[in-house]
Amino acid sequence: MGSLMSGVAPVEHNTQGIAPVLDANTTPQEAREAFRRGVVRPTCGIARGFAQANMIALPREYAFDFLLFTQRNPKPCPILEVLDPGNPKPSIAAGSDIRTDIPLYRVWEHGELVDTCSDITDIWARHDDLVTFLIGCSFTFEFPLMEAGIPVHHIEAGRNVPMYDTSIACKPAGRFSSTMVVSMRGIQPDRIADAVRISGYYPSVHGAPVWVGEPEGIGIPDLQHPDYGDPPIMKDGDIPVFWACGVTPQAAVMASQPSFAITHAPGHMFLTDIPDRSFMV
Amino acid sequence: MGSLMSGVAPVEHNTQGIAPVLDANTTPQEAREAFRRGVVRPTCGIARGFAQANMIALPREYAFDFLLFTQRNPKPCPILEVLDPGNPKPSIAAGSDIRTDIPLYRVWEHGELVDTCSDITDIWARHDDLVTFLIGCSFTFEFPLMEAGIPVHHIEAGRNVPMYDTSIACKPAGRFSSTMVVSMRGIQPDRIADAVRISGYYPSVHGAPVWVGEPEGIGIPDLQHPDYGDPPIMKDGDIPVFWACGVTPQAAVMASQPSFAITHAPGHMFLTDIPDRSFMV
């Protein structure tokens, strides 16, 4: 799966020959329109200041179990919006359509990845009761970290954040169980307290870290080989700091094998119109 | 319904002739055991420092819609725990049983109150898939208000908090829609900012107020005639301050008429083992 999850250099595959510049100054609406036209690229660095969201859509029969899973595991699965069954129009992004506005989707059957595509309109039409969950993303507190003078190395290097499967058990709910996926950022010892404090102000986008230090303690054998995203950049003296990650629902899909699911591809997020600062408590 | 909802004087109806003293120093476990033995009284003033919870149990078929209702309306419906279908044993109170440990229950059919009782074991046995929702209660931030020198008049007078139906619309979810129920506390103008700030530290137990001032603005015609609880005590200069209230699910039951529901009786809460301070963010 690595090829789908790594490589965030802004290579654009535009099916209609248009090459819009997508950067920090792009509005969320402009970016969604570009993705709708067929642009495929990771979303880190686009539309600075607006929240990005993880996505999973499941048949109605799984919706209660999964919503309960998110309620019991708010650190990896902080809910931003749950759409009514069959509704593809999120309210947190004006004029948006969840079937077309994410740059890259993954389609799952019985826990197996069966397709990767940039538009799910046809697939959606064959399922009339999909319930879409939009889940907060740690990209939201990365800019506040940087504004406080805490370097976020993967952003400076134009890479995707490294993400890892762990041995941390999520609380099960009905048919869903999973271990937690985490994202990692290397931080100097004198800034860890600030990173904890600042990210802690954003509980609805994963909040404070779940683990600081030794990766082995949470079942990560090799920091240089993340399960998702790009290898980390660790500076001298950096301590690895781990945050709960919104890719956890995809681990739950693999572990729990619902008959059908659609998710975003890691790093290819849904751009909302919600300012990051509105999540600060 | 007023007679069920008002009158918090500690009159005890003990079916077994035992008259335990239930007060601020009682532990939650001791109080639950007393209620299990048949003591019926409101829970305000009992087990100071431990969170009390609103309760609603619904058949599995309504569980997704109701969980979505709580997710979309976190101010009146902050979830503390959702139990698996059929499970009557909350994890947030050791050794507890939701069928016996609340002092007084209300049983609803198609939105109508059909029974009030102090034990639902027999009723529960006729429904094998009830999903129990435990929802935060504003009693949790009343002690921090008092510790900050903000008088809470209804506690000082040994009354239940006044609660009101309002014109504030909750966000609908599936088969559930409702207006919001609020609780009210009269506060002096120079302490309103503190009351907002202190209660705002407790978002999982209703958090900051939803309305400050003119009751008419949210459809309350007469402050002296609450829809639930006891009439308020307003001191000279007090401004009415309104918080979202966990009785809202009962308004949703009345408005949305699920085939069956069990709730606590207002003011007769489920006592948890969770310290109030653990809800402070």
Q: Has residue B182 got a pLDDT over 70?
A: yes
Residue pointed to by tokens 């900012």: B193
CATH of the domain at A101: 3.40.1640.10
> Is residue B237 located within the same domain as residue B267?
no
Asked whether residue B4 is domain-assigned, the answer is no
> Is residue A44 located within the same domain as residue A88?
yes
Asked whether the ipTM of the predicted complex exceeds the cut of 0.85, the reply is no
Tell me whether residues A82 and B63 touch, CB distance under 8 A.
Answer: no
Q: Has residue B158 got a pLDDT over 90?
A: no
Tell me whether residues A174 and B84 touch, CB distance under 8 A.
Answer: yes
How many angstroms away from the CA of A64 is the closest CA of chain B?
4
Nearest by CB to residue B82, choosing from A60, A71, A281, is: A71
Cα separation, B244 vs B211, in Å, equals 9
Asked whether residue A12 is domain-assigned, the answer is no
Helix axes B192-200, B139-147, angle to 10 degrees: 130
How many angstroms away from the CA of B111 is the closest CA of chain A?
22
Residue pointed to by tokens 């993880």: A54
Q: Looking at the DSSP assignment, which residues form a beta bridge with residue A181?
A: A165
| Both structure tokens of A17 | 């020959």
| Both structure tokens of B174 | 């599936």
> Is residue B218 located within the same domain as residue B112?
no
Tell me whether residues A68 and B79 touch, CB distance under 8 A.
Answer: no
Cα separation, A182 vs A166, in Å, equals 7
Handedness of CA B76, B78, B83, B84 (dihedral sign): positive
Q: Which among A66, A68, A77, A199 is the top mutation candidate for probing chain B, defined by the most B β-carbons within 10 Å of its own β-carbon?
A: A68
Of the pLDDT bands very low, low, confident and very high (cuts 50, 70, 90), residue B20 is: low
Residue pointed to by tokens 């600030």: A194
Tell whether B63 lies on the interface with A, counting CB pairs under 8 A: yes
| Both structure tokens of B152 | 């809470």
Write out chain B residues lying below 8 Å of A84, CB-based. 173-174
Nearest by CB to residue B67, choosing from A60, A67, A281, is: A67
> Is residue B115 located within the same domain as residue B199?
no
Tell whether A61 lies on the interface with B, counting CB pairs under 8 A: no
> Is residue A96 located within the same domain as residue A131?
yes
State residue A24's pLDDT score. Answer: 86
Nearest by CB to residue B64, choosing from A67, A79, A281, is: A67
Tell whether B203 lies on the interface with A, counting CB pairs under 8 A: yes
> Is residue B32 located within the same domain as residue B96?
yes
Asked whether residue B1 is domain-assigned, the answer is no
Cα separation, A138 vs A51, in Å, equals 9
Asked whether residue A113 is domain-assigned, the answer is yes
State residue B6's pLDDT score. Answer: 40
How many angstroms away from the CA of B140 is the closest CA of chain A?
19
Domain that holds residue B229: 139-248
Asked whether residue A8 is domain-assigned, the answer is no
> Is residue B110 located within the same domain as residue B18?
yes
Write out chain B residues lying below 8 Å of A174, CB-based. 84
List chain A pLDDT tens, one digit each, 281 residues.
333 344 333 444 444 444 468 888 999 999 999 999 999 998 988 898 999 999 999 999 999 999 999 999 999 999 999 999 999 999 999 999 999 999 999 999 999 999 999 999 999 999 999 999 999 998 888 989 999 999 999 988 888 899 999 999 999 999 999 999 999 999 999 999 999 999 999 988 889 999 999 999 999 999 999 999 999 999 999 999 999 999 999 999 999 999 999 999 988 999 999 998 888 87
Please count the structural domains in chain A: 2
| Both structure tokens of B236 | 């000279």
Tell whether A68 lies on the interface with B, counting CB pairs under 8 A: yes
Tell whether A86 lies on the interface with B, counting CB pairs under 8 A: no
Residues 239-278 of A with CB under 8 A from B: none
